[in-house]
Structure 1
């Protein structure tokens, strides 16, 4: 796997480069800003981009804007963004194209090395990974269609938003695969996601989860 990292904090970027290298992941480039990110992606054609939400010069939203732009010009490019805080708008915007291969993690998640590497591989493979803290904050004050979900269905949807498969969700909740499948079917039905939506229904459900507040 070839990765490009966009992070202006030298300590964090160096740590990420060393960590990924120790796990057999090739870090093709480490850049401190969005122009460098665009150039590095064009040069190296990475399998995954890891970017800070806030990059120079304004440290507001340059990183996330660059990530969204890259996914528009390079359809399906897996992107994992890191942030110090939960920023709900950015979480929804990343998922807006419905194609998967996206992640939104808080930076303290990096310290959980095993889980972080698993998240990276999941996003690179086309999955969706959301930080549990992001999910927890997005659940507060939730309304509209999500109010029709049972507490168990909301649990299942929360785990889906973190990128877990049916089997992994079943293990977390100590229920069978068939039970998970049934809950997910109910979620799809309540969110109005028809069978014809095919494989994207999972991502669309997560998008609905993030977009109803």
Structure 2
């Protein structure tokens, strides 16, 4: 598997590349977001490891542009900042995971393996619930034939709820499945993303809705 490392600090970039190669990965390393986007446009990568503090283009902006260029590549952000707002900003920009510096290399490789597992073992079939259709292979969703414009995390959340249609999932279950872990992630991020989905689905007159079960969690229901 080939990984893209976007890191402008020479010492850190060299250590990441050396360690990942020792783990059996092929690694391309670039020092800025522009070169990273060019590399991703020319090469298929299994995942990208991206520093937030990049020259010229932040890691957040890289994520947004990467998603527009290739939504399927898992992205792990590296940052020295540990504020909740920064983590949420990174996830909103399209990152799949977030690791705060300094970190143990073993944790980095574990996070990468988790991202790669989610990409390879996840469902890859079309799923229809009422007027909602989810194409997991192409990561597209529509309501009554009208496409939904979803961020990567919005899509993952909607797919999970659709897979478990008729069941109620707790915030912890959703965090574990969609975000991959619960530590350092405020459970309120689930409420935020449910709100995002409702704003996109409800105006289309869908016969499915995301129901709230107070004190329990959320579930996708057919309403008509």
Q: Give the TM-score normalised by the residue count of structure 1.
A: 0.56
Give the structure 1 partner of residue 113 of structure 2. Answer: 121
Q: CA deviation at 1:72?
A: 3.0
Aligned partners of 2:77 and 2:98 also within 8 Å: yes
Q: Distance in 1 between matches of 2:220 and 2:171?
A: 20
For residues 22-56 of structure 1, the C-alpha deviation after alignment (integer angstroms, 9 at most, x for no partner) is 110110x2111111111111121211111100101
Matched, 1:106 2:100: yes
Q: Is the 8 A contact 1:86 1:106 kept in 2?
A: yes
Local SS of the residue matching 1:50: strand
Q: 1:8 is matched with which residue?
A: 8
Counterpart mapping for 1:1-213 below 5 A: 1-27=1-27, 29-57=28-56, 62-96=58-92, 102-109=96-103, 112-126=104-118, 163-164=180-181, 189-190=213-214, 193-196=218-221
CA deviation after TM superposition for structure 1 residue 155, in Å: 7.4
Residues 196 and 20 of structure 1: CA distance in aligned 2, closer, same or farther (over 3 Å)? farther
Distance 1:74 1:90, change over 3 A: farther
Higher helix share: 1
Contact 1:102–1:126 at 8 Å: present in 2 too?
Answer: no
The answer (yes or no) to whether the contact 1:82–1:106 under 8 Å persists in 2 is yes
State whether residues 99 and 108 of structure 2, in contact with CA within 8 Å, keep that contact through their aligned partners in structure 1.
no
Q: Please report the TM-score for the alignment, with normalisation by the length of structure 2.
A: 0.54
8 Å CA contact retained: 2:64, 2:93: no
CA contact (8 A) 2:8 2:54 kept: yes
Structure with the larger strand share: 2
Asked if the contact 1:68–1:93 (Cα under 8 Å) also holds between the matched residues in 2, the reply is: no
Q: CA deviation at 1:12?
A: 0.4
Structure 2: unaligned runs, 5 residues or longer: 120-169, 183-211
Aligned residues: 142
